[in-house]
Amino acid sequence: MKLPVSTEWLLHCAASLAQLEAGATASAAQLAQYFDLPAAYLAKQLQALVKAGALAATTGPRGGFRLARPASEITLLQIVEAVDGTSSPYECREIRQQGRGALSAEECQNPCILAEKMAEAHEAWRNSLATTSLAEIIAALPPSAPSRTRLRLTGTP
Amino acid sequence: MKLPVSTEWLLHCAASLAQLEAGATASAAQLAQYFDLPAAYLAKQLQALVKAGALAATTGPRGGFRLARPASEITLLQIVEAVDGTSSPYECREIRQQGRGALSAEECQNPCILAEKMAEAHEAWRNSLATTSLAEIIAALPPSAPSRTRLRLTGTP
């Protein structure tokens, strides 16, 4: 099971946008140059984060992307699920209802215990990512990081 | 991120083998018929569980598969990782070291905080699956399940 390579891109882009001054934006092209990433594909992924409510996009000559909410209210889970979707990695196709050992529909009114345990593990993963916000990520960076990020990303410290 | 479809197959096969009498085995063909699965591909996956130490394979006319250890000592994690491998779904390609925003190698002696948080989430998933053994799965089945499983899987109740 693999997350898309772009998961790393969008986590870093969101963490970079979290270091801008209030109201400031960075364009997809600026973010692509900052990390040396393919601009068109990155722009598409940034729109997915807009759709998910993590980023806001502004148009016009000074348009670009910024956080849609305070960094303390945007979690790693929201970003990862905006990129990869929300479905569980485990797929239960109800093989307990097929073949020589098939259980009847009546016997399968409760979910399969194996599917339940796999769902619990997915919830543990989700909960772990839901407890970390972008604000916590920024707080873990060296104090000099935000002004450096702003200067290299937007040209304004 | 998706686990292989065969993850469900092998979890159910291992749970079925856990219901056999001590020393009894079931062949790949019997397991394939029991769940209506492709026998050749299932046999290959069963060998992956042998390699992982969860199942034992015996040869000869009455040969087949059985648990390699007590059901209480085989976890869902061991089965899932035998099928899908142990690597984390998140891949950190160190984009923090590339592009206009590149950090120097000296600045990257510590792991990236984002990669660390993604690794923590993967550990939460692993820990969840490591806390459930096949014995617990069997204990959650109706009391009539094991004799029914044995009869339909091997012809011997």
Model confidence pLDDT, tens digit, residues A88-115? 999 999 999 999 999 988 888 889 999 9
Give me the interface pTM, i.e. the ipTM.
Answer: 0.94
What percentage of chain B carries pLDDT values higher than 70? 100
Return d(Cα A43, Cα A30) in angstroms, integer: 11
Instruction: Select from A27, A45, A75, A95 the residue whose CB has the most chain B CBs within 10 Å, as the one to mutate to test that interface.
Output: A95
Residue B67 pLDDT class (50, 70, 90 cuts): very high
Note the pLDDT of residue A94. Answer: 93
Q: Ramachandran region of residue A97, left (φ > 0), alpha (ψ -120 to 50) or beta?
A: alpha
pLDDT at residue A78 greater than cutoff 80: yes
> Which of A12, A96, A124 is facing B128, going by the closest CB pair?
A124
Tokens linked to B105: 């190698």
Q: What is the C-alpha separation between A153 and B125, in angstroms, rounded?
A: 35
pTM: 0.94
Region B40-59: what's the mean pLDDT? 94
Indicate the residue of A3, A90, A120 with minimum beta-carbon distance to B89: A3
Task: Tell me, yes or no, if B106 comes closer than 8 A to chain A by beta carbon.
Answer: no
pLDDT, chain A, mean: 94
Smallest Cβ–Cβ distance between B113 and the set A16, A117, A140 belongs to A140
Residues of B in contact with A93 (CB under 8 A): 5, 8
* Best B87, B114, B141, B154 residue to mutate vs chain A (most A CBs within 10 Å): B114
What is the separation, in whole angstroms, between the first and last Cα of chain B?
Answer: 40
Are A50 and A43 in contact by the 8 Å Cβ rule? The answer is no
pLDDT at A75 over 90: yes
pLDDT tier for residue B60 given thresholds of 50, 70 and 90: confident
Q: Which residues share a beta bridge with A58? A: A64
Q: Is A65 on the interface with B (CB under 8 A)?
A: no
Q: Is A101 on the interface with B (CB under 8 A)?
A: yes
Kindly provide the residue ranges of all beta strands, DSSP E only, lying in A47-95, ordered along the sequence. Answer: 55-58, 64-67
Please report which helix (H) or strand (E) contains residue A114, including its range: helix A113-130
Categorize the per-residue pLDDT at A23 as very low, low, confident or very high, splitting at 50, 70 and 90. confident
Provide the phi-psi class of B155: left if phi over 0, else alpha when psi is between -120 and 50, else beta.
left
